Copies of this chain bind each other. A is one copy, B any other.
Amino acid sequence: MTESGPLSTGESVRHACRNGEWNQQTSGLAPGFAQANLVILPQEQATDFLLFCQRNPKPCPLLDVTSPGQVEAAGTAPGSDLRTDLPGYRVWRHGEIVEEPERIDHLWRDDLVSFLIGCSFTFESAMLRAGLPVRHIELGCNVPMFRTNVACQPAGGFRGSLVVSMRPLAPQDAIRAVQITGRYPAVHGAPIHLADPAAIGIDDLARPDYGDPVPIQAGELPVFWACGVTPQAALLSSRPPLAITHQPGGMFVTDRLDESLAVA
């Protein structure tokens, strides 16, 4: 895959998904374009979910929300079709996966609302460009994620604990990472905690609740960012009659440039 290759822009990735030419993870595709988590809910649950995201902006930074029934993410990807433009979907009924299709035309309804939630790929790219190590990328595994004892602000039926991702960094790199990722509040922003896992209810860094464990080297601190798994966990624990999400790692690739999300 090259910069000028067929999957080098958000639009080209979306079209490849739509045409059945791409059904894999999107990490590394369309470098420089922001990718997003997808949550689709019937309007009956969507209002409370919108409120949940508004009240918990660090784990749930909303890049775009559609009007009911609208299939285009008009704010971040004009011309897109959220029913076809991701590599794959998970369909949940009452909190259980019932189907994992590559498109969801057959499920579409006029009352479905789509939420696009910022993704850590954007701030990880910024860390890499600044020469900071990102351990799980070095190792080619998933970022380790942990449930904390920090309660999210509830909204309607949506409630749950903050989920964090962890990246180990030497102290001076942790300081630099605060400055760099703090520039991107639309994609989780600055870390929420560092150094002391027990203070946020994490007992064992070697046993993440999601993703893969990564080693912490001598002199490194664990640094914790609010994670987009938070809204998914809150969503599924409420067991709504229908929810549709992206497949883990297979994101919606927008037309927004990562750098357009930087505040300074």
Contacts and interface: CB of A to CB of B under 8 A. Distances in A.
Nearest to A223: B175
Per CB-CB distance, the 7 closest pairs between chain A and chain B, nearest first, are A264-B264, A178-B178, A195-B195, A179-B182, A171-B193, A171-B194, A175-B178
Contact of A175 (B171, B191, B219, B264): B191
A195 B179 contact: no
Contact of A172 (B171, B174, B192, B264): B192
A205 B194 CA distance: 20
Contact of A194 (B175, B179, B199): B175
Interface residues of A, number: 19
Nearest to A179: B182
B219 A193 contact: no
A221 interface: yes
14 contacts: A171-B193, A171-B195, A174-B194, A175-B178, A175-B192, A175-B194, A178-B178, A178-B179, A178-B190, A179-B179, A179-B182, A194-B195, A195-B195, A196-B221
Given A171-B195, A178-B182, A194-B195, 12 more contacts: A171-B193, A172-B192, A174-B194, A175-B190, A175-B191, A176-B190, A178-B179, A179-B182, A179-B190, A195-B221, A196-B221, A199-B219
Nearest to A174: B194
A130 to B, nearest CB: 13
Interface in A186-217: 190-196, 199
Nearest to A200: B171
A175 B178 CA distance: 7
A176 B175 CA distance: 10
A109 to B, nearest CB: 41
A37 B159 CA distance: 52
A118 B176 CA distance: 21
Nearest to A193: B171
Nearest to A178: B178
